[in-house]
Amino acid sequence: MKVLVLGSGGREHALVWKLAQSPSVSRLWCAPGNAGTAMEHAASGAPVVNVPVASDDIPALLEFARREKPDLTVVGPDNPLALGVVDRFMEAGMVVWGPNQRAAQFESSKAFSQDFMERHGIPTARGGTFSDAAGAIAFCRELGGRCAVKADGLALGKGVLLCHDVSAAEAAVQEILVQRTFGGAGSRIVVQELLVGMEISLHALCDGKEALLFPTAQDHKRALDGDHGLNTGGMGTYCPTPFLSEAGLHDVGRAILDPWIAGCAKEGIDFRGILYPGVMLTASGPRVLEFNARFGDPEAQVYLARLEDDLAGLLLASAQGRLAGRKLRWKPGPAVCVVMASAGYPGSSPKGLPIDGLDAAARMPGVKVFHGGTALRDGQVVTNGGRVLGVTATGTDMADARAKAYEAVRVIRFEGAQWRTDIGSKALAVG
Ligand code: AMP
Ligand code: GLY
């Protein structure tokens, strides 16, 4: 089977790495990919080939796919999904994994998701959707100013402002809805009550009818240790978390997924791909903060490091509505991913700096270094973006996996590298 993966981050390197292990995959392309994807080989021995086409350039992707005829196209990032890449590939008669444009609205429109959750009784924050500032501000006041103000559309993970008083909430509404700091993404907003609790990531693989729940993972969204600093795309993850027992995960999963599946069926939404609810475990139960319609990055790195099953088979079954009766199998030990980012991230960061120590890290048992923002220049791996590497390790327990990941981080060098030193510490604190 020939497989094309769209995207260029750590998530896509993890997808390529796992797909490359599949005996059924003979050829792999990644558009546009990174230095890490270009260094993988399919089980057939064929090197993975990076295709110099952006993951949201749908006409160019279609042209490539018509020429090379992949048997499966796997969509990594949210943007092409929101642009309808899945619909266009299906119209062209190709098999493609990921939700169609309508189903991808769970991520591309927070207002759509908030209204859907309310219509179908999915546990979420008390909230409302607004396109007028006066209505939004009145609702913020009703919440005592303690609220999350969110741009409706995709805003590179930055469109959420957390407020603790009325004046901050009013300023947030002004910023997103009136001044349009996030452009058209802010022509509507969602205002939610501010929830307190432990935040976890859920993932479920869906085929339009079934939703297979993954173990829990936890991201670390702030740039600095102790959850300080600016919000980022994610500075590290681990899986599983100790915050839900297996029975607890089952209950939480069903409380969210059963009404979600029923709601999709009722509204004729055919969701095939990963549903990734961000969930707050509050004192009064789990609450969905938002839905994403793809693998998390860096959640994918820890999930795929632990997945036992053949990924190509699973994604094909998901795309073709054949997940019924399947069960996911996971390696018993946990996985930890520590993101090494460029100086300046999440602000602008330099590119083209040489990265050393990757070979030494690759030799460490249980370690896999996934590339995010990297490129190859004259055979040398160089930095090419904010989140450069996702240094991932599996171990016998959390302490072991974490120690291995940080040991590998210590042998990798590039100028200005920054990383959090406390990935997984919340899990260790629970014991
Ligand atoms: P979102 O993109 O909606 O997940 O929001 C980004 C981050 O903001 C989340 O990961 C949470 O940490 C935080 N957040 C979002 N909504 C809420 C809420 N209602 N209460 C508290 N924190 C929130
Ligand atoms: N890990 C956060 C995200 O992928 O949205």
- Are β-strands 204-207 and 335-341 bridged in parallel, bridged antiparallel, or unpaired? unpaired
Cα 297 to averaged position of ligand 2 atoms, centre (Å): 5
Average model confidence (pLDDT) across the chain: 96
Q: Which residues contact 343 (CB under 8 A, 6 or more apart)?
A: 349, 350, 415, 416, 417, 418
pLDDT of 185 above 90? no
Average pLDDT over residues 129-143: 96
pLDDT in tens, 205-226: 999 999 999 999 999 999 999 9
Does residue 234 have its Cβ closer than 6 Å to ligand 2? yes
Average pLDDT over residues 372-379: 96
Nearest-CA residue for atom 3 of ligand 2: 296
Cα 305 to averaged position of ligand 2 atoms, centre (Å): 17
pLDDT at 155: 84
Does residue 219 have its Cβ closer than 6 Å to ligand 2? yes
Closest atom of ligand 2 to CA, residue 298: 1
pLDDT at 290: 96
Q: Say what percent of the chain tops pLDDT 90.
A: 95
Residue 430 pLDDT grade (very low, low, confident, very high; cuts 50, 70, 90): confident
Q: Which ligand is nearest to the Cα of residue 220, counting in written order?
A: 2
pLDDT in tens, 315-370: 999 999 999 999 999 999 999 999 999 999 999 999 999 999 999 999 999 999 99
pLDDT of 378 above 70? yes
pLDDT at 156: 77
pLDDT of 296 above 70? yes
Cα 302 to averaged position of ligand 1 atoms, centre (Å): 22
pLDDT of 132 above 90? yes
pLDDT in tens, 188-200: 999 999 999 999 9
Q: Which ligand is nearest to the Cα of residue 233, counting in written order?
A: 2
Cα 158 to averaged position of ligand 1 atoms, centre (Å): 11
pLDDT at 224: 97
Average pLDDT over residues 43-66: 97
Cα 347 to averaged position of ligand 2 atoms, centre (Å): 17
Average pLDDT over residues 262-270: 98
Average pLDDT over residues 159-175: 95
Residue 93 pLDDT grade (very low, low, confident, very high; cuts 50, 70, 90): very high
Nearest-CA residue for atom 5 of ligand 2: 296
Nearest-CA residue for atom 1 of ligand 1: 290
Pocket-forming residues, ligand 1, beta carbon under 6 Å: 125, 148, 150, 160, 162, 192, 194-195, 199, 221, 278, 289-290
Q: Say what percent of the chain tops pLDDT 70.
A: 100
Does residue 286 have its Cβ closer than 6 Å to ligand 2? no
Average pLDDT over residues 90-109: 98
Residue 184 pLDDT grade (very low, low, confident, very high; cuts 50, 70, 90): confident
Cα 160 to averaged position of ligand 1 atoms, centre (Å): 7
Q: Which ligand is nearest to the Cα of residue 151, counting in written order?
A: 1
pLDDT in tens, 383-393: 999 999 999 99
The verdict on pTM exceeding 0.95 is yes
Residue 431 pLDDT grade (very low, low, confident, very high; cuts 50, 70, 90): low
For the chain, the three-class secondary structure string (H helix, E strand, C coil) is: CEEEEEECCHHHHHHHHHHHCCCCCCEEEEEECCHHHHCCECCCCCECEECCCCCCCHHHHHHHHHHHCCCEEEECCHHHHHCCHHHHHHHCCCCEECCCCCCCHHHHCHHHHHHHHHHCCCCECCEEEECCHHHHHHHHHHCCCCEEEEECCCCCCCCEEEECCHHHHHHHHHHHHHCCCCHHHHCCEEEEECCCCEEEECCEEEECCCEEECCCEEECCEEEHHHEEEECCCCEEEECCCCCCHHHHHHHHHHHHHHHHHHHHHHCCCCEEEEEEEEEEECCEEEEEEEECCCCCCHHHHHHHHECCCHHHHHHHHHCCCCCCCCCCECCCCEEEEEEECCCCCCCCCCCCECECHHHHHCCCCEEEEECCEEEECCEEEECCCEEEEEEEECCCHHHHHHHHHHHHHHCECCCCECCCCCCHHHHHHC
Does residue 296 have its Cβ closer than 6 Å to ligand 2? yes
Nearest-CA residue for atom 4 of ligand 2: 296
Closest atom of ligand 1 to CA, residue 219: 10
